[in-house]
Amino acid sequence: MEATAYLPSVVSAAPIVLQDAPAADFSDTPWWLSLIKAVLVFVYLLLQVLVVIWFERRVIGRMQQRPGPNRFGPLGLLQTLADGLKLMMKEDVTPKNADKVMFVIAPLLVGSLAFVSFAIIPMGGTVEMFGHTTPLQLTDTPVATLLVLAVAGVGAYGFVLAGWSSGSTYPLLGGLRSTAQVISYEIAMGLSLVAVFLYAGSMSTSQIVAAQEGLWYIIPLFFSFVVYVITMVGETNRLPFDLAEGEGELGGGFHTEYSSMKFGMFFLGEYINMFTVSALATTLFLGGPAAPPGIAGLFDGMFNEGWWGLLWFTIKMWMFIFFYVWLRGSLPRVRYDQFMKFGWKLMIPAALAWVVAVALIRAAQVGYFGDSQWATVITVVVIAAVVIAALLLWDRRSAAAREATLEARTPPAEIDPFADGYPVPPLPGQRVVEPRTAVSAADPVSVSAGATDDDTHDDTPEDTRG
């Protein structure tokens, strides 16, 4: 199978045509070999999770000038294993008001779907396994990249069901937040991928990797890369975008009522999703399993073939994992309204404008506009940039006007905290009015004049008093 794709030319407007960008060849891969590869991918991801939890705790510990786990095993490497055993031995509690069926299905849905997206990721070149020639990839389809978005959308149901089935307020709020978060940032993520599809001429992951043989897409599509990196943090509910499980405001979010291995499945799914989106970023923007430019040509390309691709792929993927850890140790959690405003008012319009610009550039490179192709493209791009800048400036001024209006509404200097029947604390600078209306309206307790406190509260009959 061959696909005609166009490699970007950052120097010349003339298109460079890639005539041979084949998809991965699975013709010599029997079903039992695919099953073995699926087990190997599963083990690979589990080992990665064991390492990344230890790695995250150690790196953040060094950032905060503390050692991190360093007791169990060499350098504390077995601490994650001990934590997993502890989760297994914890009591599995199910709330009384929970929907028990959905309460069990939700963590299984999140934990299992996290592994599905990795099936279309090319992790290396073509290798020999058990007498058969097969690519280091489980499967590939003409729309393989869209599979990741589809699985991420279905995985959001796990968070929603977890929040709803718990029968509690905080998990429900966390589930609703997760739904809005996934919807908001999947749009920008999908738009960032469209630019890659336009350059590669395909949605197949193996063909996208093949199309980057001359130039990794992080260079011509740097803006798409930045948008994708931001949205992948929002998609995986990681700091500073972990609003769905903010323990400071929701007590833990959608998994507040979960314990034992049900909670462990959410924990596992979160880290597997980190590796999935990092692997997709590696595939789309960093050449997948291709060796770095300075190493690819050494020894007749030996380091760019076979099992070597798995090493380069893992190194690139762990660069994104370190970025995740760095963000968690550096940035505080954003406010929810700021998070949604950033997604809808900045990320989506910017990504949409960038897709239009990339489409015009690709059309110019293939000669669609004729002799005046670049003049037309530059004119359209400049006009679009001016319109977007004007809209952003207008939105900024509108927000400043709204803030000024709110500041003009000064609260009253004196308030009655019991005016509505329940206590309301005063704002800074306010004074409490006395007497309080609600307390004054209540029936006073009648006390005999001249009676002492002891006489008033003495329940002893008169004939028994001394």
If you ran DSSP here, which 8-state letter would residue 413 be given? S
Q: Strands 132-135 and 126-129: what pairing?
A: antiparallel
> What backbone phi and psi angles, to 5 degrees, belong to 260?
55, -140
> In angstroms, rounded to a whole number, what is the distance separating the alpha carbons of residues 299 and 8?
27
> What backbone phi and psi angles, to 5 degrees, belong to 205?
-65, -40
Q: What is the pLDDT of residue 11?
A: 34
- The pLDDT tens digits for 296-324 are 666 666 677 778 889 999 999 999 999 99
> Mean per-residue pLDDT for 212-223?
88
> In angstroms, rounded to a whole number, what is the distance separating the alpha carbons of residues 225 and 212?
14
- The pLDDT tens digits for 134-177 are 888 888 888 888 888 888 778 788 888 888 888 888 888 888 88
Helix, strand or coil, per DSSP, at residue 290 = coil
Query: Above 80 in pLDDT, residue 117?
Result: yes
Query: Above 70 in pLDDT, residue 35?
Result: yes
How far is the first Cα of the chain from the last one, in angstroms, to the nearest whole number? 109
135, 31 Cβ separation under 8 angstroms: no
426, 432 Cβ separation under 8 angstroms: yes
Q: What is the pLDDT of residue 461?
A: 47
Q: Strands 414-415 and 431-432: what pairing?
A: parallel
Helix, strand or coil, per DSSP, at residue 277 = helix
Query: Above 80 in pLDDT, residue 21?
Result: no
User: Which of 46, 122, 125 has its CA nearest to residue 84?
Assistant: 46
Query: Above 80 in pLDDT, residue 387?
Result: no
Q: What is the pTM of this model?
A: 0.77
Q: Do you find a cis peptide bond into 122, omega within 30 degrees of 0? A: no
All residues at 6 or more sequence positions from 334 whose CB lies less than 8 Å from its CB, including other chains: 240, 241, 243, 342
Q: What is the pLDDT of residue 303?
A: 74
> In angstroms, rounded to a whole number, what is the distance separating the alpha carbons of residues 247 and 465?
58
> Mean per-residue pLDDT for 351-356?
86
Query: Above 60 in pLDDT, residue 328?
Result: yes
Name the residue with higher pLDDT: 447 or 375. Answer: 375
CB atoms within 10 A of CB 85: 10
Q: What is the pLDDT of residue 370?
A: 58
Average model confidence (pLDDT) for the chain? 79
347, 231 Cβ separation under 8 angstroms: yes
Query: Above 70 in pLDDT, residue 200?
Result: yes
What kind and span of H or E run contains 6?
strand 5-7
The pLDDT > 70 percentage for the chain reads 80
Q: What is the pLDDT of residue 229?
A: 92
If you ran DSSP here, which 8-state letter would residue 212 be given? T
User: Which of 127, 278, 139 has its CA nearest to residue 206?
Assistant: 139
The least confident of 189-203, 320-334, 386-400, 431-445 is 431-445
The pLDDT > 90 percentage for the chain reads 14
Query: Above 60 in pLDDT, residue 439?
Result: no
Q: What is the pLDDT of residue 285?
A: 93
> In angstroms, rounded to a whole number, what is the distance separating the alpha carbons of residues 220 and 211?
13
Query: Above 70 in pLDDT, residue 91?
Result: yes
Instruction: Kindly calculate the radius of gyration of the chain based on its CA atoms and give it in whole angstroms.
Output: 30
60, 329 Cβ separation under 8 angstroms: yes
Q: What is the pLDDT of residue 460?
A: 46
140, 299 Cβ separation under 8 angstroms: no
Q: What is the pLDDT of residue 59?
A: 92
Four-point Cα dihedral 381, 387, 391, 396, nearest 10: 70
CB atoms within 10 A of CB 384: 16
